[in-house]
Amino acid sequence: MIKLFLHFFYKLKISPLLWLLAAGAIITGHFREILIWYVVVLVHEMGHFAGAHLFKWRIQKIELMPFGGVMAVDEISAKPLREEAVVTILGPLQHIWMIGLSYFLAEISVLDQSSHQWFVYVNLAVFTFNLLPVWPLDGGRLLFLFFASILPFHKAQNLFLLFSFIFFMVLFLFYILNFEFHLNLWLIAIFMLTTHYIEWKRRKYVFMRFLLNRYHHPRSCKKKVRVLVHGSTEVAAVLNLFYKSCNHEIVVKDMAPLQLKEHDLLHAFFHKGQMRCALREIFR
């Protein structure tokens, strides 16, 4: 357990903006409030970290920023759906026991009412905000995993990012039309919009990493998917039909029918550079 904590803090990075925010909190007399806020966020990220450690994921860093925390891991697109779901949900679950602990400490007079109320409020705020179905929040990640469980990875990527952007914009417009100006809201909005823009620009790279990992590290999955295509279908178009956490059997309906394994397609794509070739040109 001690080794796990040491590893967590070794991977922890603190944004320079957070130090500025802490300095401002000290000057304005709100240091206790900001300290409680980031203790809650820290425990939230510990939940994610514990899950990632359980599944032996390679963790790049855990970064604390003014709006919360972000854990970066290697090859996230290649992780099994079940593992991703567990790691994602372990963050929000931490708020349940933290709220329970706060009530217990307040009941035995270890925690004063003011600190207790603020601690509970922060937990509820972080919990609720993180479960919004918006990228890169936990709710957004869970929604993407749902999309990826019923749709091909490529399609799930595009539909989810579009849905996430539209949902956030509707929520943001509703807020600014019905509530007073708040600087923090605008800072969060800028961060979220920037994140969406970056993720949209790199979606092809993420998809390519997804395919590359399947090519170099094939794994056996319980779920099997049969992909029905025609001989005129290009290799790249077939790969767009691949699902996350599934094994695929490609059936070319108008060629005998011909049955191909996914590794055959991935080999043609990466090793032979035949991404724009029709299946009938490669597999005769």
pLDDT in tens, 74-120: 877 788 899 999 999 999 999 999 999 999 999 988 888 988 999 99
pLDDT reported for residue 68: 72
Q: What's the domain count of the chain? A: 3
Q: Answer whether residue 272 is part of any domain.
A: yes
- Does residue 200 share a domain with residue 268? no
What is the SS3 assignment for 161? helix
pLDDT reported for residue 280: 82
Burial class (CB in 10 A: 0-12, 13-18, 19+), 251: middle
Active-site residue numbers? 45
Final residue belonging to a domain, choices 179, 195, 217: 217
- Does residue 236 share a domain with residue 194? no
- Does residue 178 share a domain with residue 269? no
pLDDT reported for residue 85: 95
pLDDT higher for 182 or 204?
204
When the pLDDT of each residue in the chain is averaged and rounded to a whole number, the result is 87
CA proximity to 34, closest of 1, 72, 67, 70: 67
- Does residue 188 share a domain with residue 75? no
Tokens representing residue 65 in the block = 């920023």
pLDDT for 66 beyond 70: no
pLDDT reported for residue 7: 77
* Locus of tokens 């029709």: 278
Final residue belonging to a domain, choices 162, 182, 217: 217
pLDDT for 23 beyond 70: yes
Average pLDDT over residues 51-61: 90
Domain coverage including residue 259 = 221-282
- Does residue 160 share a domain with residue 121? no
* pTM of the predicted structure, to 2 decimals: 0.88
3-state secondary structure 35-97: HHHHHHHHHHHHHHHHHHHHCCCCEEEEEEECCEEEEEECCHHHCCHHHHHHHHHHHHHHHHH
What is the SS3 assignment for 27? helix
Strands 59-65 and 258-261: unpaired
